[in-house]
Structure 1
Amino acid sequence: MRKRVAAVWVAARYLLVGALTGLVSLFLLPVLLVLLVVVRPTALRRLHDWAQRERTRVAAFLGRPIPEPAPPQRLPDARGDLAWLVVHGLTGPVLGVLGIMFPGAALNAVLVPFYWWAVPENDPVTSPYPVTSWTGAAFMPLIAAGYALIALLFTPWLARLQSRVLGALLSPPPGAQLALRVAELTASRAAALEAHGAELRRIERDLHDGTQNKLVAVAMHLGIIERALRRDPAGALPLVLKAQDATSDALAGLRGVVRSIYPPVLSERGLDGAVAGIVASCGVPCSLSVADLPRAPAAVESAAYFVVAEALTNVVKHSGATRCEVRLSGTDHLVLAVWDDGHGGADEERGTGLVGIRRRVAAFDGTMTLDSPVGGPTTLRVTLPRGA
C-alpha cells in the first residue's frame, strides 16, 4: 500500500508540474509562431531547448531515456517539437487538474470534520454533499476513502498516459534516429582515423628522432672499430665497449617505442595492474580504486591505459594538485575516472592533451566528460564499450 500511495504522489506531482509547463507551452505557442516567421533560427533553438527540458522530465518519469534529436535547422525538422507544444499546451493544464483532483478531494474530505463548523451556514462545505452537522461530517472519512481509491487507480494511469503520449511526440522518428546514429558513427570513424594517423605519426617521430639516431650512432661506432682493428687491434676494446653501450641504448629506445604501442604489462597484469604501475610512478600522490573490473578486449584496455597515462600527465603538469585518484569499474562498459584537487579550469582548447583523449575515446564509440570548475576539483570521466 505504501508503494501505491507513493506512486499516486509521484504521479500527482508529475501531472501538476505538467500543468505548469503546459500553461507555459500554451503561452509560448503564439509567441513561437510569430518568431518562426520573423526570426526562424532563434525560434527553432528556443523551441528545441524547451522541448529538451520536457524530454528530460518525461524520461525521468518513464524510467528510460528519450533520444535527443539534432537541433532543427529547418521548420520540417521541428515538426515533433511543434506537435508536442500544441498537444501539451492544450492538454497539460486539463490533465494536471484532473490528476490532482481526486487526491485533493480525499485530503479535503479528511479535513472537513475539523473545519465544517467554521464555515458560514448559508455557504456550507460541499464534498460531495453539503455538510451542515456532525452527522454529515462523520461520514467524511468514508468519502475520503472512496476518493483515495479512485486516486490510486486513476491518477497514476493518467500520468502514464500523458507521459507515453508526450514521449512519443518528443522522440525522434525512426528515420531521424537512424540518420543521427549514422552521423555519430561517421564522426566516430573520422575520429578513429585521426587518432590512428596521430599514433602513426608519433611512432614515426619516435623511431626517426630516437631509435634511428641511436642505430646510426651504433653504425658509426662499428665503422670506427673496423678502422681501429686494422690499425691498432689492441686499442679497439674501449671502442667495442662504447659500441655495446650504444647498442643497449638503441635497444632500450626501441623497447620504449614498442611499449608505447601496446604495453606488455597489460597482457601480463591486466588493466588494473598496469594502471597501478602508472599510479605508483605519478608525480602527485595518487590512489587507485578498482571495482568489478573483468578483462576487456586488448584494444579497449590499451585505450584506457593511455587515457589514464595522459590524464595523470595533465594532472602533474597543469593542475597544481596535491593529490589525485583513479577509479576503474564497469561490467557492461569500462568506466574510468581521474579526479584531482587542483585549481581546475581545464579547457580542451588550451592543448592540454584533452583533445587527444577525446579522439582516442571517440574511436571506440565511447564518451568523455570533463567537470573542471575554476578553483577545482577536476574530474575526467571516460566510458568505453567493452565490445569495441
Structure 2
Amino acid sequence: MTTTEPTGTADTADAGPGAERPREIAVRALRASGAALRQLVGGLGTALMALGVLVLAAVAAVTTPAGVGLLLASVVVRTLHALAERERRRLARWGPEIVAPNPPPTLRAALTDPTTRRELRWALRHGSLGFLLGLLGVWLPLAAFRDTLFPLVWPFAPADTSSTSFGFGAARTWPEALSVSLVGVGWIAVILGLTPGMARLQARAGRMLLGAGPDADLSLRVAELTATRAAALDAHATELRRIERSLHDGTQNRMVTVTVLLGAARRMAARDPERADELLERAQSAAEQALAELRAVSRSILPPVLSDRGLAGALSGLAAECAVPCRTDVEAPERCPASVEATAYFVVAEALTNIAKHSGASAAAVTVRARGGRLHLRIEDDGRGGADEAGGSGLTGMRRRVAAHDGTLRVTSPAGGPTVLDVDLPCGT
C-alpha cells in the first residue's frame, strides 16, 4: 500500500500516517452511514409506491370476475413498469447501472411476461422488507437525536414523559436522565455500523429482480456491448483529434519556425554573422519548445511515469502537483494492463483538475483498490458539490474512457458537497 499525505499541510505530515488513520476511518464511516441513510429514505418512497401498486393489483384481481379488474390490469402493469424503472434509476445513483429488459409490446404479452412477474416479486419484497428498512432509516436518526439530547430537555418535560425512544420508563433523577443519553450513543453506533448493510439489503431485491433475468434475450448484452464499442471508438477518435490538433497547431508551427530561421541564418552567415547568430539562437529556442511539446503529447498518450513508477507512484505525482491538498491511498499488489492503468491515471488527473478549478475544496483524497480482477477508484473532495455532467466539467470524457474498458463511473455530488467519483474497471490480465 502506498499512502501520500496531503501536500501543503505540515501539521498532518508531522502527525504521521498512524495519527491520520483513525480520523480517516471515522470520516469514511460517517460518510458511508450518511449515504446509507439517504439511500434508505429514498427506498422508503419507492416502497410506499410499491405498496400502492400491490393494493391496486389486489383490487384488480378481486374485481376481475365483475369485469372491472380487466380495465385496471393495464393501469397496474403500466404503473408497475414505471415504478420499476424509477427504482432502477434510483439504484443507479448508488451503484452500478441496472440494464432494463425490453418492455413487452402488448398488454397480453405483459401479463404473461417473466419481466412482469419479476417486477411483482420485487414489489412484494420491497414493499415489505424494504418498507421496514426505510422506516428504520428515518427512525434511527430521530431516536439517536432525541435520546442523546434528552438530558437537556428533561428538566422542562412533563413528569410522565417516557425517557427513551422505546416509549417506556420515565426519568426521575439526573443519573437516570443521563443514562438515556447512553442509549442515544448506542443508536449512533447502530447507525454507523449497520445502516450501510441495511441499505445494501434494501437494494438487493431491486438488483436481483429488476435487471435482465437469466432467461432474457442476449440482445440486451449485445446492445450494451455495441454502445460500449461506440463509446470506445468515440473516445479513440476524440483522442486522435486532440493529438492531431496538438501536433498541427503546436509542434508543426514550431518546426516551420525553426526551418525559416535556419534558412535566414544561413543566408546571413556570410554578410552579417552577428545577426545570423541571433537567428540561430531563436531557432534553437523554437526547437527546444517543439521538443517540449512533443514530449507533452507523448506523455498524454501513455505517461512514462506509469512504466517507471507504476500506478501508485504516478498518482502520488498527480497529488503532489494538485493545487488542492490531496492524499492518495493505493493498494494494487499486481500491475494492471497498461491501458487500464492509463485510463485510471487520466481519470484521476481530470478529476483533480476539476477539483482545483471548480470545487472550492480544501482537501481531496484518491483511494485505489485492486481486488478480484477489478480496479476500484474513489476520488472525493469536500467542495461545494453540484457537479453536472452536462456542464462541460470533463465527466463525459471520463465516462467514455471508462466505458471503453466496459467499466462504470458513478458520480455523487449533492449541492453543498461532498463530491465522490467511484470508478470500477476490469483489470484481469
Q: TM-score, normalised by structure 2?
A: 0.59
The verdict on how the C-alpha distance between 1:352 and 1:208 changes in structure 2, with shifts beyond 3 A counting, is same
8 Å CA contact 2:85, 2:100 repeated in 1: no
Q: 1:180 aligns with which of 220, 235, 249?
A: 220
Residue in 2 aligned with 1:277? Answer: 317
Cα contact 2:380–2:418 (8 A) shared by 1: yes
From 267, 273, 285, the equivalent of 1:245 is 285
Q: What pairs with 1:169-208 in structure 2 (closer than 5 Å)?
A: 172-174=212-214, 176=216, 178-208=218-248
Contact 2:350–2:394 (CA<8 Å) still a contact in 1?
Answer: yes
* Deviations, residues 154-203 of structure 1 (Å, cap 9, x unaligned): xxxxxxxxxxxx99986745452522211110110000000001000100
Residue aligning to 2:344: 304
AA partner of residue 218 (structure 1): V
Q: Does residue 1:34 correspond to 2:71, yes or no?
A: yes
Give the letter for the 1:83 counterpart.
R
5+ residue gaps, structure 2, are 1-46, 62-68, 130-205
Contact map agreement 1:221 1:239 (CA 8 A) in 2: yes
How big is the shift at 1:28?
2.4
Cα displacement string for residues 287-329 of structure 1 (whole angstroms, at most 9, x for unaligned residues)? 1111244210000001110000000111011111111111111
TM-score under structure 1 length normalisation:
0.65
Aligned-pair Cα RMSD in Å: 3.7
Once the two structures are superposed, the pairs formed by residues 203-242 of structure 1 within 5 Å of their partners are: 203-233=243-273, 235-242=275-282
* Cα distance in 2 for residues equivalent to 1:329 and 1:190: 28
Q: What one-letter code is carried by the residue in structure 1 that aligns with 2:262?
A: L
Secondary structure at the aligned position of 2:393 is classed as coil
**1:244: how far off?**
1.3
Work out the CA distance in 1 between the residues paired with 2:209 and 2:336.
Answer: 39
For residue 48 of structure 1, what is the aligned residue in structure 2? 84
Q: 1:328 aligns with which of 368, 379, 398?
A: 368
Note if 1:259 corresponds to 2:286: no
Quickly say closer, same or farther: Cα 1:306–1:86, change in 2 above 3 A.
closer
For 2:416 and 2:210, how far apart are their aligned partners in 1? 38
Equivalent residues in 2 for 1:34-113, closer than 5 Å: 34-35=71-72, 37=74, 42-43=78-79, 45-46=81-82, 48-49=84-85, 69-70=100-101, 72=103, 74-75=105-106, 76=109, 79-84=113-118
Q: Aligned in 2, Cα 1:169/1:336: closer, same or farther, shift over 3 Å?
A: closer
- CA distance in structure 1 between the aligned counterparts of 2:326 and 2:97, rounded to whole angstroms: 38
Aligned length: 288
In structure 1, stretches of 5+ residues that fail to align are 1-17, 57-64, 97-165
Q: 2:378 aligns to what?
A: 337
Distance 1:309 1:250 in 2: 24
**Taking every aligned residue pair, what percent have the same amino acid on both sides?**
49
Asked whether the equivalents of residues 319 and 342 of structure 1 are also in contact (C-alpha less than 8 Å), the reply is yes
Q: Is the 8 A contact 1:48 1:72 kept in 2?
A: no
8 Å Cα contact 2:122-2:210 kept in structure 1: no
Greater relative contact order: 1 or 2 (C-alpha under 8 angstroms, separation 6 or more)? 2
Is the alpha carbon distance of 1:222 and 1:192 closer, same or farther for their aligned partners in structure 2, counting shifts above 3 Å? same
Q: Which amino acid aligns with 1:25?
A: L
Aligned to 1:126: none
Structure 1 CA distance for aligned equivalents of residues 83 and 219 of structure 2? 21
Cα gap change, 1:85 to 1:342, in 2 (>3 Å): closer
Report the 3-state secondary structure (helix = DSSP H, G, I; strand = E; otherwise coil) of the residue aligned with 1:330: strand
Q: Work out the CA distance in 2 between the residues paired with 1:283 and 1:365.
A: 31
Do the aligned partners of residues 172 and 344 (structure 1) sit closer, same or farther apart at CA in structure 2, a change above 3 Å counting?
closer
Q: Which has the larger radius of gyration?
A: 1
1:363 aligns with 2:399: no
